[in-house]
Amino acid sequence: MTLRNRIRGILKSDFNRHFFVLISGTSISQLVPLAASVILARIYSPEDFGIFAIFTSLVAIFTTVNNLQYQYAIPLPTEDKDAVILTFLSAIAAIGFAIVLFIIALFFKTPILKLIGGEQLGNWIYVVPLAVIFVGIYTPLNFFALRFKKYKVIATSNILRSSSGAGLQLGFGFMGFAQGGLILGNLFSYLSGNAGMAKLFLKFKHFFKDVTKDSLRRNAIRYKKFPLFSIWGIFLYSLSANINSFFISTLYGLGQLGLYSYGTRYLGIPLTLIGNNMGQLFYQVCADCHKKNQPATKEFLSTLKKLAIIGFPIFFVLFFTIEDISAFAFGEQWRIAGYYSKILLPFFFIRTLYVPLCQVTSAFEKQELDLWIHIAIFAGNIVSFIIAYIFQCSITAFLMIYCVIGSVVYIILGYVLFLVASRKIK
């Protein structure tokens, strides 16, 4: 079989074709900030990136709960009207949540910043609720586009979002805005992303009249398992993924946090390129299987195989080159960021395999199990922190401990996800 025929055979699969559409858009959206990072590393200091890491970690944690997880229900209803109602429900929840966050920040700013080692974030903490609103509108619109398999819309939106964000961060940096430039660029990037998604959503405006208190309440009750169970699991997962920023800033300082976050920021690109896109498609496939009351064993194993085939060569090459790449691209002071990333490479590879597959619990409405899974992930992280704190480990030793414990936890939980996909866990 010729290479041309093989490629044609691969693209015959809807899953593969849609994946390539998504990953092409996401690749461009990641290449833009990656190219900009070469300049950003010379404009902003490690401390600036440390403060930015505190901000983005707070936003990432809160945006896992701001929609009350109702965005995951958007692809599930048989009627488009209910999908529109759920999109409004998700956005309304995000706005309400952001208002509560602002009130909390207004009264407890100082103790909160001291607790997370982010005193230098200062008044930028008040921007966190605004970012939560922007992301809280973007997320349900993204799932709405996913419902109708508008993968080109999603890809285009990702490109607009990342390009505008990188451009603004460069512009603010040249104007001397220090960490504020990084924060503002990140904030307004979601506005451009929302614009692209909103155009598709407005095509269904004839359903807007059906968005009433009763319809919102009815859908909120129908999919109540998402906020009751799924929200806490996802919150713990995000907390686990981002709590390192607070731990490192408190124990090792903002400079070390900046080096760690800058390295892992670009180490996470394969997860974004491969994992997030594959996860969106896998979720849609699992949702279809769930509607038909069928197992998704074949889809699970097929997705895992694709993730491994695509991901392993990337991480293998990075293991031998990432330190030199960091020094060459960003400057010699950033070589240590590459070293930190190298330590975490095995963990990031395993997580790149795990994250897309964990969508099966939401698609199969196993929110209770999802909660326990994320409790296990969070517990593994806490154990790493406790060991590092008690034995006063260096940041290098801490990252090694974190990598080993985290990798083992994800491997065990990956098998649990396989049992869910096979419908062996009722």
The pLDDT > 70 percentage for the chain reads 90
Whether residue 9 is predicted with pLDDT greater than 60 in this model: the reply is no
What dihedral angle (degrees, nearest 10) is formed by the CA atoms of 360, 364, 369, 375? 40
* 262 neighbors 49 (Cβ within 8 angstroms): yes
Tokens of 133: 């609103």
- Helix 254-267 crosses helix 14-43 at what angle (to 10 degrees)? 150
- Helix 277-291 crosses helix 128-147 at what angle (to 10 degrees)? 50
Residue 3: pLDDT band with limits 50, 70, 90: very low
Residue where the block lists tokens 């693209």? 11
Mean pLDDT for 18-33 is 64
pLDDT in tens, 316-347: 999 999 999 889 988 888 999 999 999 999 99
4-18, 20-34, 133-147, 166-180: the lowest-pLDDT one: 4-18
Mean of all residue pLDDT scores within the chain: 88
Residue type at 86 in one-letter notation: L
Give pLDDT, residue 227: 87
pLDDT in tens, 140-193: 999 999 898 888 888 888 888 888 998 999 999 988 887 689 999 999 888 887
Give pLDDT, residue 259: 92
| pTM, full prediction | 0.82
Residue 278: pLDDT band with limits 50, 70, 90: confident
* 64 neighbors 234 (Cβ within 8 angstroms): yes
Tell the burial category of 320 from Cβ atoms under 10 Å away from its Cβ (0-12, 13-18, 19+). Answer: exposed
Residue 36: pLDDT band with limits 50, 70, 90: confident
Residue where the block lists tokens 């975490």? 344
